[in-house]
Amino acid sequence: MSLFWERVEKRRFKIKDIDQLKSLDDVFNQYTIEALYELMNRGVIGDIHGPVAQGKEAKVFWGETPDGEDIAIKIFYTTTAQFIRGRHKYIAYDHRFEGVKTSSKFKLMEVWCRKEFRNLKVAYEAGVRVPRPIAFYRNILVMEFISYQGQRGVPAPLMKECPPDDPEQAYYTLLKYIERGFILGKIIHADLSEYNVVNTGKELVIIDWGSAIKVSGPETYEFLLRDIRNITRYFEKEFEINVFDPDKVFKVILSRAERFKKESKEKDKIEERDGFLVISGKTLIEELQGETPTEETETVEATTEAAEVEAEAEEEEEAEIVEESEETESDNE
């Protein structure tokens, strides 16, 4: 049996008593266990299995809903001082969190957890392939379990560890997701690389959206350029395929974003082809290659009224975040 499958088998156990968690893993302190109880009482979490991934900010567990659906349970650490110090700059660039107090490590973790949930939701609704967000509470985020080839409890490996069979198409796909996030979701991953993309064997899924920021002006564009450069560097170095100049990709996406605003108002529709946005009659790849499109274009309803509703929802959420932050801050004191 390979080392990979040995690790898989070790995760195939079920927690019979929630108090067992304290001795199982030090991530389960009293604060986290209370949050876990709450999500169980809400009917979000049914069972918990072993850990499937671990990073500098959190540990991810394989779990199930009460109906037996596989879910990923991401638990953010509450004792990582270095991580806490490094998160403030990302929150500072996100206008949704203006006014939120982050004086305590618990409060910052709660804000960060909420931030990743919201970022996932925005990206998911923009058509970016990400884990579907399900729920969150305190420092626990529950989302879709991304499995390898549909096998239960087996997490999809990182793209770095499991390269795509068709590197060129994979490269184009990630550029497609970068553009959809930027234009439709007004969101930038801000930490995109081969270490934040998993390969299910059938598709690529972008993970770890905690550092993502909302597009609020030119000062946030540097994160977009960095994401493009990181992905371009990986595919050029790893596979030696022909890639686009990242600076050109950056400029073209910015230009397409401006044209999209005008065209979407005139047509009240979003045009797509194979998941790519069609702007000025071309997809991103066609425009970068200087090609003329030949295939039929699909249209998706996208009225300006819907955009206004989205903006109003964000304003309401900002107010809720600040209000809940102040309430929790008071409870923790």
pLDDT in tens, 42-84: 999 999 988 898 888 889 999 999 999 999 999 988 775 555 5
Q: If you write DSSP's letter for every residue of 262-315 in order, what string do you get?
A: HHHHHHSEEEEETTEE-BTTB-HHHHHHTPPP-S--EEEE--HHHHHHHHHHHH
* Domain spans, the chain: 3-154+313-332, 167-308
pLDDT > 90: what percent of the chain? 56
Per mean pLDDT, which range of 4-8, 31-35, 90-94 is the poorest? Answer: 4-8
For range 294-312, the mean pLDDT = 44
Flag whether pLDDT at 170 surpasses 50: yes
**Is 0.85 topped by the overall pTM?**
no
Fold (CATH) for 3-154+313-332 = Phosphorylase Kinase; domain 1 (3.30.200)
User: In terms of DSSP bridges, do strands 187-188 and 213-214 run parallel, antiparallel, or are they unpaired?
Assistant: antiparallel
Of 330 and 148, the one with more pLDDT: 148
For 128, the 3-state DSSP assignment is coil
pLDDT of residue 49: 87
> Which residues are annotated as catalytic?
191, 208
Can you read off the two tokens belonging to residue 234? 């990986």
| 19 confidence band (pLDDT: 50, 70, 90) | low
d(CA 101, CA 234): 38
pLDDT of residue 13: 46
pLDDT of residue 117: 96
> In CATH, which superfamily holds the domain spanning 167-308?
Transferase(Phosphotransferase) domain 1 (1.10.510.10)
Flag whether pLDDT at 1 surpasses 60: no
pLDDT of residue 238: 95
Q: What is the mean pLDDT of the chain?
A: 81
